[in-house]
Structure 1
């Protein structure tokens, strides 16, 4: 998860499992919102604008119900929206490396993630916001060039 000011936490998927709506609803989101609440003790998740991709595990009815009841405001995910910068950036930094254990890989991901400069998150958010404004200006047609 990341904020305008940088990352708050990393929630790894255990034992090479697949992200399912059950795991996302019962493990990932509660942990993510707990970490956010710890960072924001006076407001918790109130006032958070929540953005996620539109993978089936993220858009299942149980997830939408959970998010509606959590008090966060969902930002819509337009079709063909560009991916978050984070994962391609970190994947590039990890490419070709081997780890002895899954825990080692998670720790290296965390190290890279938390070492990303704070302005990278701000710049990504600004770029994402600008692209969404352009998408709205084009009537939602994200197949056109963004720039």
Structure 2
């Protein structure tokens, strides 16, 4: 609402250009490969129920690819990750998690390592639909060497040490 004189010209309306749609995905990876990934359907959000469903699928995948290796999840403190229902499901699924300081994007390997590399790869590509994006993300993930993933985990170890040395302060670069 705006006040204007009766003879004032009508306000200009700018044409709204639809922004590029986003394809959101959840990814779990270890020192060798991407273990599990899921793509979120358009108009969906990650809540506790959705995250628990993802954790169940992850547990099945871990049984196949990691067999007798221990698995420890390192995730952030987002509400779906720390809700009572999720914590109960983690115990039921016997999935161990690393504690994570609140608001620590510098300790989330996907945020500081995996996603920036993936974004570099995807930059400049144009896709006609979500399926093309998903296929290209799968292709990129399969094309990464185990050394690529090991380097991301090694960086996490360094960042954890810095975080402890700084009493939980941000690590960023």
User: Given the two structures, how large is their TM-score scaled by the length of structure 1?
Assistant: 0.84
For 2:42, which of 12, 15, 31 is the aligned residue?
15
Residue 55 of structure 2 is aligned to residue 29 of structure 1: yes
Structure number, greater radius of gyration: 2
For residues 1-147 of structure 1, the aligned pairs below 5 Å read: 1-26=28-53, 28-41=54-67, 43=68, 47-79=70-102, 80-82=104-106, 83-84=108-109, 85-140=113-168, 142-143=169-170, 145=171
Distance 1:19 1:146, change over 3 A: closer
**Structure 2 unaligned residues grouped into runs of 5+:** 1-27
Moved beyond 6 Å, runs of 4+: none
> How many residues are matched?
141
Distance 1:116 1:134, change over 3 A: same
**What is the CA RMSD across the aligned residues, in angstroms?**
1.9
Q: Does the CA contact (< 8 Å) of 1:11 and 1:31 recur in 2?
A: no
Q: Does the CA contact (< 8 Å) of 1:5 and 1:121 recur in 2?
A: yes
**Structure 1 unaligned residues grouped into runs of 5+:** none
Q: Which structure has more helix as a fraction of its residues?
A: 1
Compare relative contact order (CA 8 Å, sep 6+) and give the higher one, 1 or 2: 1
Q: What's the counterpart of residue 5 of structure 2?
A: none
Aligned-pair CA distance for 1:47: 2.3
Over residues 43-96 of structure 1, what are the superposed CA-to-partner deviations in whole Å (9 max), with x where a residue is unaligned? 3xx721111122222222111111122112110122324142111211222123
